[in-house]
Structure 1
Amino acid sequence: MRMMTFLLVGLLVHVVFFLSIFDIYFTSPLVHGMTPQATPMAPPASRLVLVVADGLRADSLFTLLPNGSSRAPYLRFVNRAEKGTWGVSHTRVPTESRPGHVALIAGFYEDVSAIAKGWKENPVEFDSVFNETRNTWCWGSPDILPMFAKGASGDHVYTHTYPAEEEDFASTDASRLDTWVFTQVKSFFQSAKSNSSLRANLLEDENVFFLHLLGIDTNGHAHRPMSQEYLNNIGLVDTGVAELVSMVEDFFGHDGRTAYVFTSDHGMTNWGSHGAGHPSETLTPLVAWGAGVNYAHKVTEVQPYKDGFLQDWKLEHLRRVDVNQADIAPLMASLIGIPFPVNSVGVLPLLYLNNSDHFKAESIYTNAIQVLEQYKIKMSQKKETTLSFLFTPYHFFFVTLHSLLIRLLQDIFDLVQPVHFPSSVSCQISLCRSLIAHALEGLLYYHTYDRFFLGCSVVLGFVGWTSYVVLVILKTHANLNRLSETLCVCVTVVITGFLLIQRSPVTYYVYCLLPVPLWYSVLKDFFHRAMLTVGLVVLSVWPFLSGLFDKAKFRSLSWCVGCLCLAAFPLMPVVGREPNIHLVTCAGLLTLFTSACYLWSSRRRTTLHLSDRQQFFTQVALIHIMLLCAYVPSLTHSSLQQKQGLPLFNQIISWTTLASSMLVPLLSSTRLFHRLLSIFLSLTATYLLLSTGSEALFPPVLSWLMFVWINIEQEAMLAQGVSGRQELATIDFSANIDITKIRQLKLDDIRRSYFFVFFIITAFFGTGNIASINSFDPASVYCFLTIFNPFIMGGLMMWKVIIPFIIVMCTFETIQVATQLSSRSLFLIVLVISDLMALHFFFLVQDYGSWLDIGTSISHYVIVMSMTIFLMLLSVVTHILTSQRLFLWRPKMHFP
């Protein structure tokens, strides 16, 4: 009863620690209650056409063909004819469609918590350009348009989307998605000619037409950005834009009151992914022209861009104006004279405006007041929830805000004085930009105001809980005094010198020097997967240093080879791997070979009754499933390359294998070797279907090392003369554990717990983790589906990440049963180790950067924080997976 209470308290404490990072690091930066701000002067445009080519890289659009022509001649002509202004829109990470469009249309960079809560919906309310318009008509993807329609006040944002099934990565050419959009827009304007009410709405001011073109992004994912499908799709979009402009101008009688903005939400890597911060993902094109937009001025001097793109794109003679992605929202609002989105943090790019200096000054002033409104609300909210004597205001505004506003008001007054006009405009613009910069710093200051206080509280909680667990261990096992003495020696001496003087055994050097590289990694700013390689190399020599090599040479060599092979995987890239289906097939064959060795090793140790036909049929079925799963990825890849789509047979096999992966092992015998083999084959088969290259080799290598670990621990217990040692041949997972044989905790059990924690982390981070899901190759799930569905695809990739985790859990379940290790003591040891690691990773959690950066920092913390929760939950799953058996038919009873 006391143990159950302790487990429940421990679970509650760790749930609180786990949830703390979301209150500390991942809360919405948005505030509400601001007054909308609009420029009081008449706008230059009555309407705006926004075209977003999803997934379009800047270099893909601007780079010329080898013959000197452009694949986007119309958009190139806009610049060459000096009809508009061009530049690069610098996106922030994560470079995904939803946050990219939020930045473009709402003007702020969405936080991770909002993105995780809903992709198409609005988990938090925010203002946008569309919300401030009189009417907005949208055409495009069902993944993007609904969130702006549902987030708008009133009923003035109209969306037209195609079915989600059209977003198929296996399609012959996804450019048909863009063709659909252009066709729908043409039909819309044609129908408006005969529809008087619709025509009247179109002729009003403050209207926006939004075209979301997903074809380029889908072709990039399916065929890579260097493919003809991707590049030809750019030409199709360019032709579509040219026809769109001609149609819009004809409809409105060439009144010169239409502004056009062409850009992209994010780019794409060479291997067809996005989400991180590579320049190919963060550099997107921006071309604006039409009413109120400045012309592309010719320049003779060297422009202040050192990235070399101007020369590569042959555009060095035209002025390039780069912006941050959120700056496009205030630009669009200024062009058609609507209020700036109240949540926007963008800065109006004045070089894109073709208007009077007075208009520019008024517009940037409105921008400054709009950002300052957010700052005031944020400050007042924090001040109301903080004791007055503890409240520390943002230093800049606390000292200089009053004087700065007085100067701004004086400059506005000077605007009406002709004699001071030029200098006043220049000064006001400069001051407004300064005010915006400091207001944004203040917003960040108050957004993270409580972070230090909450962090200190969580740290104190960690230290208190870990100290309590250590005391429980020491009180429970008196023989752990040896461990505390050893630790005191390690802390109080100069490690190497003291050990030399004492003539200590070789193993002492390993125990004492091992913390050095570990604490070195703790002191570094980030956790590197390469440290797992270092750890595995160190573990590979353990049998030689501990004396086990003399007693079990083959197993010791197998351990060494297994560790070194596994050590290669953390050095491989998480994202950006080139697909290699041949390696997947090889992994399937290696799995079958490993299974054969597994059975050969156990053939003289275990026997099954001849009447157990279910076991025979289960093993035969698993072998055939493995052969199919080794072949299906190759067949799928070949079919998609030939643009024949995903074969239905492959899809049925894949989903059936996935659904049965946790059921089929329950049909096998509960004897150790047979049950572990069934689990290994069933999980690895699913893993192969989710693999595209070298990562497919990870489960066979990991499983082989786990199998060796089980055997070598037997030798270790034999060398120690432990009475609780149980022969592997006699282990049946379904047998009841004899409580009287559960022994006291020994020093070597600390090592077993450390190995377990280390292998858990290696299994989780060896080839990828939850951080890499956003940048995964869509080809990983092509055996299951090719139609874009972020949640199903993400769930499949998450299961792929968890499979190695379950393999390690099953292995340690076996070791625990075989060595009669106390589960309570094991739980306490792992708890201390995981909490110490969690405390370190708590300080490394970050709420900025790419999803790869954010996800890595979260996953480091999540895995160690969830160690306790996973041990309790997965230990139940693992126990069922290893000890329970389903019978399709009952074996015949034999009577003497």
Structure 2
Amino acid sequence: MLLFFTLGLLVHFVFFASIFDIYFTSPLVHGMTPQFTPLPPPARRLVLFVADGLRADSLYELDENGNSRAPFIRSIIMHEGSWGISHTRVPTESRPGHVAMIAGFYEDVSAVAKGWKENPVEFDSLFNESKYTWSWGSPDILPMFAKGASGDHVYTYSYDAEREDFGADDATKLDTWVFDKVKDFFHAARNNQSLFSKVNEEKVVFFLHLLGLDTNGHAHRPSSREYKDNIKIVDDRVKEIVSMFQNFYGNDGKTAFIFTSDHGMTDWGSHGAGHPSETLTPLVTWGAGIKYPQKVSAQQFDDEFLKEWRLESWKRQDVNQADIAPLMASLIGVPFPLNSVGILPVEYLNNTDLFKAESMFTNAVQILEQFKVKMTQKKETTLPFLFTPFKLLSDSKQVDVLRKARLYIKQGKFDEAVSLCTELIHLALKGLSYYHTYDRFFLGISVAIGFVGWTSYVSLLIIKSHSNLTRSISKEVKKASHLLPCSFVAIGILVTFFLLIQACPWTYYVYCLLPVPIWYAVLKELQVIQDLVASLLTFPLSHFVGHLLICTLGIEVLVLSFFYRYMLTAGLVIFAGWPFLTQLWTRAKVISLSWTFFSLLLAVFPLMPVVGRKPDLSLVMSAGFLVLLLSLFVITSLIKRKNSFIKEELLVHLLQMLSTVLSMYVVYSTHNSLLKKQGLPLMNQVVSWAILASSLVVPLLSSPVLFQRLISILLSLMSTYLLLSTGYEALFPLVLSCLMFIWIHMEQETLQQSGVCCKQKLTSIQFSYNTDIIQFRHLCLDDIRRAFFLVFFLVTAFFGTGNIASINSFDLASVYCFLTVFSPFMMGSLMMWKILIPFVLVMCAFEAVQLTTQLSSKSLFLIVLVISDIMALHFFFLVKDYGSWLDIGTSISHYVIVMSMTIFLVFLNGLAQLLTTKKLRLYGKPKSHLI
């Protein structure tokens, strides 16, 4: 069986990894020729201000007194430059946002598995194409562009990462540091002849990365006074820097300024997904080469922002975030970044129509170069008779469009030339997408065939090893068994040869060859298939159809719950009526009523807002008091008993009570300290980490008796969960655990109802590491329901409080008891542990269900595996490569979540067994007495 689980884990890792080769591959190509406009640029230098985490509405809207929070920027909009909204794409994070602005292409999705601070694939950027670039700001952003630059002409000045402290008294110092360093730099340039000559060169870029707003937004939320005051400070200091540039360069009129943001932020202080508050960022441009404000009487936009901002009289020109890169390149006359997919927004340019037309022509040729390289690569690795070119942009059409566009420019038909070049760009972008996804269908079919085969094999294994079906092997099957291996070896050789002559990557061999041994294993069980068919023929048709419909409906509810959390509520309401649909109500009324009550109570959580939107410390404290009451109840019940373990058990529960009290104090104390901007107290931080470390050890000191151990696990994990909670989610594990305790009782009652005699009472059953050596009984239909319940409760643990509904539902305030200095991996690990705690509670309860129902854990786990794989296959077919980036990202993340759940079930099962069966002792020798 160990071999099966090892192979199963390997197969699921392959299925999981396939999504990265099918959907998470780098769109970048190399080998293009740089393209630039053969006309003198309007600007010698460019200054790029990026206010990290600044929402468009926060900058443009007026305050309660009708005044602008950024009067200088607003005066630019009205008197000097052009403005609009820059539309970002998912994920709305700093790294992909800056890559889109500065390099012109969107998130390299292969970076999901390879890096956080740096793009893992080499790429060209505006900085690389510039003569010199000087940048100031965060150490998480600046090195990424310097590392990929050729030569030594991109200079970075970063502060220490420790400055990015969400609990600090003043996050605006991250911005003032940048402004002060820029002023110091130009002061030094006046006294340094070498530096002075460099900054007076043409094609120079100055990049100011301002992280204060993002930090204040995370710590205090965008509606806070700190965030709004930070906008005012940035506005004032930008005004100073602009004045300094004008004085330094003698008002030569050759400096272009761009002020924008990499992403916005939700009302609850997070970003990463596709909410408009995250994807709508400001763009304000002025200076050399930028069009002056245009007064208009009416504008056509779907939103109501213009009236709210009182900017309806000034022409708003929206762009996609990647369009900023070609705009900046055009302003200073450097080649467009080679990998850029941005379309030059000519409406922003204050230049001749010839310059605009030539710039658009350059833009079209630059993107067309990428298309040609991508097509050539795909053509060289595909058999000639199988290659299907992109028909909308043939070689002849490329030549024809470029010739026609050049002719329009010569004839002075500049608007026609711009329109034709824009059309060519859109076709080239479609072609890039076509060739980038060329192998997607082929690989998808291969993986789907493997998926179906694996699910079929596991189902047959369950029937063969854990059911009463006969397993006699007929002579016909024996004869066929000699032919079967040869046939599949031949198929494997043909597939290998097909991939070899196309020079496919080694991963393609894995995805395409894996189905061969899987389906061989399936067809090898031909006798089991025959037995199954024979058994189904004897089963009443109505019963078979009924069970099939129920199973299908149950799995569909699970799938829909990934899109609509309230489907979990619907499922729990149905669960609440389960005792009344069976005979359980007549056997155990109190337990049945308790099951109904807690099912309905748990059903409330998926209807609540996503965690993080409205923090409520009182609910965290209430959850802590409930944990203390539960601890007191347990201690009281222990004192009434007389046995040799009483002192040790009391000590364990007293430790857990102390941990709970300390957790409540740390949460309250940290909250107040951060409100006073005094940061995270060191003692609170030490206590938090100590509680986290002890939460996995203390349960092992308690008795292995079933309910004693489960309660001990709950109490220990709750102390950590309280530290990671910000609101109502602190109550979620308590309600979930109550339902789990009742579930254990319900399953034993169900077992007795079916006529199976239970050998022990629940109060005397012990967890034992060797419990599962003997298989007590064969599977029945009720066991499928038990496995479904487990999957449903695991999905409820995922989405019950919205912890993983989307990236932007994470609230960094959850980890402030542990650390406030920005550390993405540490913070992510803590939040992941918070999500896993309800998982662990469910898995521990499932261990108890397996024990009390006298069933092998392996057989139930195999059923869970089948249900999870059916869901994963469902999501595999729901993955999109069209529509909005949010739709595409969501569909991929659903598949990744289900596959991760399938893989981590093995590890969670091991952790649950460790927590429930392992026994440590504080002192003395082991004793055999029970509590």
TM over 0.5, shorter chain: yes
Q: Please, which of 714, 723, 732 is the counterpart of residue 689 of structure 1? A: 723
Report how far residue 339 of structure 1 moved.
0.6
**3-state SS of paired residue (1:787):** coil
Stretch of structure 1 that moved more, 713-722 or 99-108? 713-722
Q: Give 2:697's aligned residue.
A: 663
Q: Please, which of 428, 435, 445 is the counterpart of residue 446 of structure 1? A: 435
Aligned amino acid, residue 169 of structure 1: F
Q: Give 2:256's aligned residue.
A: 259
Aligned amino acid, residue 35 of structure 1: T
Report how far residue 728 of structure 1 moved.
1.9
Stretch of structure 1 that moved more, 737-746 or 273-282? 737-746
Over 3 Å counting, the alpha-carbon distance change for 1:634 and 1:830 in structure 2 is: same
Give the alignment of 1:816-831 within 5 angstroms: 816-831=850-865
Q: Give 1:69's aligned residue.
A: 67
Aligned amino acid, residue 209 of structure 2: H
Report how far residue 564 of structure 1 moved.
1.0
**3-state SS of paired residue (1:728):** coil
Task: Tell me, yes or no, if structure 1 residue 625 matches structure 2 residue 621.
Answer: no
Give the alignment of 1:752-831 within 5 angstroms: 752-770=786-804, 772-831=806-865
Q: Deviations over 1:458-487 (max 9, x none)?
A: 111121122222222223345469998997
**3-state SS of paired residue (1:574):** coil
Q: Please, which of 446, 449, 458 is the counterpart of residue 447 of structure 2? A: 458
Stretch of structure 1 that moved more, 54-63 or 523-532? 523-532
Aligned amino acid, residue 692 of structure 1: T
Distance 2:633 2:846 in 1: 21
Distance 1:857 1:234 in 2: 36
Report how far residue 849 of structure 1 moved.
8.6
Distance 2:540 2:143 in 1: 60
Q: Give 1:718's aligned residue.
A: 752
Q: Give 2:207's aligned residue.
A: 210
Q: Give 2:218's aligned residue.
A: 221
Task: Tell me, yes or no, if structure 1 residue 403 matches structure 2 residue 401.
Answer: no
Report how far residue 546 of structure 1 moved.
1.6
Alpha-carbon contact 1:219-1:229 (below 8 Å) kept: yes
**3-state SS of paired residue (2:621):** helix
Report how far residue 855 of structure 1 moved.
6.6
**3-state SS of paired residue (2:806):** helix
Q: Give 1:335's aligned residue.
A: 331
Q: Give 2:169's aligned residue.
A: 172
Over 3 Å counting, the alpha-carbon distance change for 1:389 and 1:634 in structure 2 is: same
Report how far residue 799 of structure 1 moved.
0.6
Stretch of structure 1 that moved more, 326-335 or 631-640? 631-640
Q: Give 2:19's aligned residue.
A: 21
Q: Give 2:187's aligned residue.
A: 190
Distance 2:457 2:855 in 1: 22
Aligned amino acid, residue 699 of structure 1: P
Q: Please, which of 514, 524, 529 is the counterpart of residue 550 of structure 2? A: 514
Q: Please, which of 24, 29, 45 is the counterpart of residue 47 of structure 1? A: 45
Distance 1:600 1:189 in 2: 73
Alpha-carbon contact 1:529-1:570 (below 8 Å) kept: yes
Q: Deviations over 1:15-44 (max 9, x none)?
A: 211111111111111111111111111111
**3-state SS of paired residue (2:258):** strand
Alpha-carbon contact 1:574-1:772 (below 8 Å) kept: no
Over 3 Å counting, the alpha-carbon distance change for 1:894 and 1:14 in structure 2 is: closer
**3-state SS of paired residue (2:145):** helix
Stretch of structure 1 that moved more, 737-746 or 435-444? 737-746
Stretch of structure 1 that moved more, 97-106 or 773-782? 773-782
Report how far residue 601 of structure 1 moved.
7.8
Report how far residue 313 of structure 1 moved.
1.9
Aligned amino acid, residue 723 of structure 1: C
Distance 2:357 2:774 in 1: 85
Report how far residue 766 of structure 1 moved.
1.6
Task: Tell me, yes or no, if structure 1 residue 562 matches structure 2 residue 559.
Answer: no
How many residues align? The count is 869
Over 3 Å counting, the alpha-carbon distance change for 1:601 and 1:558 in structure 2 is: farther
Q: Give 1:591's aligned residue.
A: 627
**3-state SS of paired residue (1:225):** coil
**3-state SS of paired residue (1:284):** strand
Distance 1:531 1:484 in 2: 34
Stretch of structure 1 that moved more, 520-529 or 162-171? 520-529
Over 3 Å counting, the alpha-carbon distance change for 1:818 and 1:203 in structure 2 is: same
Alpha-carbon contact 2:293-2:314 (below 8 Å) kept: yes
- What 5-or-longer segments of structure 1 have no aligned partner? 500-507
Q: Give 2:307's aligned residue.
A: 311
Aligned amino acid, residue 468 of structure 1: Y
Distance 1:579 1:771 in 2: 17
Distance 1:490 1:247 in 2: 86
Distance 2:533 2:621 in 1: 50
Distance 1:237 1:886 in 2: 57
Distance 1:718 1:178 in 2: 68
Distance 2:534 2:628 in 1: 48
Alpha-carbon contact 1:44-1:336 (below 8 Å) kept: yes
Distance 1:746 1:158 in 2: 69
Task: Tell me, yes or no, if structure 1 residue 650 matches structure 2 residue 646.
Answer: no
Give the alignment of 1:836-847 within 5 angstroms: 836-846=870-880
Question: Scaled by the length of structure 2, what TM-score is found?
Answer: 0.89
Over 3 Å counting, the alpha-carbon distance change for 1:884 and 1:584 in structure 2 is: same
Q: Give 1:502's aligned residue.
A: none
Over 3 Å counting, the alpha-carbon distance change for 1:593 and 1:522 in structure 2 is: closer
Aligned amino acid, residue 447 of structure 2: V
Q: Give 2:273's aligned residue.
A: 276
**3-state SS of paired residue (1:412):** helix
Over 3 Å counting, the alpha-carbon distance change for 1:410 and 1:815 in structure 2 is: closer
**3-state SS of paired residue (1:287):** strand
Distance 2:533 2:606 in 1: 33
Q: Give 1:505's aligned residue.
A: none
Q: Give 1:356's aligned residue.
A: 352
Alpha-carbon contact 2:130-2:204 (below 8 Å) kept: yes
Distance 1:803 1:550 in 2: 35
Q: Give 2:617's aligned residue.
A: 581
Q: Give 2:368's aligned residue.
A: 372
Q: Give 1:425's aligned residue.
A: 414
Task: Tell me, yes or no, if structure 1 residue 242 matches structure 2 residue 239.
Answer: yes
Alpha-carbon contact 1:692-1:779 (below 8 Å) kept: yes
Alpha-carbon contact 1:134-1:156 (below 8 Å) kept: yes
Report how far residue 523 of structure 1 moved.
9.1
Over 3 Å counting, the alpha-carbon distance change for 1:150 and 1:485 in structure 2 is: same
Report how far residue 892 of structure 1 moved.
8.3
Report how far residue 229 of structure 1 moved.
1.3
Over 3 Å counting, the alpha-carbon distance change for 1:829 and 1:411 in structure 2 is: closer
Q: Deviations over 1:539-575 (max 9, x none)?
A: 1111222211211111111111111111112222335
Over 3 Å counting, the alpha-carbon distance change for 1:169 and 1:519 in structure 2 is: closer
Aligned amino acid, residue 178 of structure 1: D
Over 3 Å counting, the alpha-carbon distance change for 1:474 and 1:734 in structure 2 is: closer
Alpha-carbon contact 2:273-2:807 (below 8 Å) kept: no
Alpha-carbon contact 1:569-1:698 (below 8 Å) kept: yes
Alpha-carbon contact 2:774-2:856 (below 8 Å) kept: no
- What 5-or-longer segments of structure 2 have no aligned partner? 471-530
Over 3 Å counting, the alpha-carbon distance change for 1:261 and 1:863 in structure 2 is: closer
Distance 2:806 2:369 in 1: 38
Q: Deviations over 1:740-791 (max 9, x none)?
A: 5722223322222221222122222222354534442221111111111111
Distance 1:868 1:53 in 2: 41
Aligned amino acid, residue 327 of structure 2: L
**3-state SS of paired residue (1:830):** helix
**3-state SS of paired residue (1:722):** coil
Aligned amino acid, residue 713 of structure 1: E
Over 3 Å counting, the alpha-carbon distance change for 1:15 and 1:699 in structure 2 is: same
Alpha-carbon contact 1:43-1:337 (below 8 Å) kept: yes
Task: Tell me, yes or no, if structure 1 residue 152 matches structure 2 residue 159.
Answer: no
**3-state SS of paired residue (1:768):** coil
Task: Tell me, yes or no, if structure 1 residue 107 matches structure 2 residue 99.
Answer: no
Distance 1:64 1:230 in 2: 14
Aligned amino acid, residue 57 of structure 1: R
Distance 2:639 2:420 in 1: 83
Question: Percent of counterpart pairs with the same letter?
Answer: 62
Distance 1:489 1:601 in 2: 53
Alpha-carbon contact 1:771-1:855 (below 8 Å) kept: no
**3-state SS of paired residue (2:729):** helix
Report how far residue 449 of structure 1 moved.
1.3
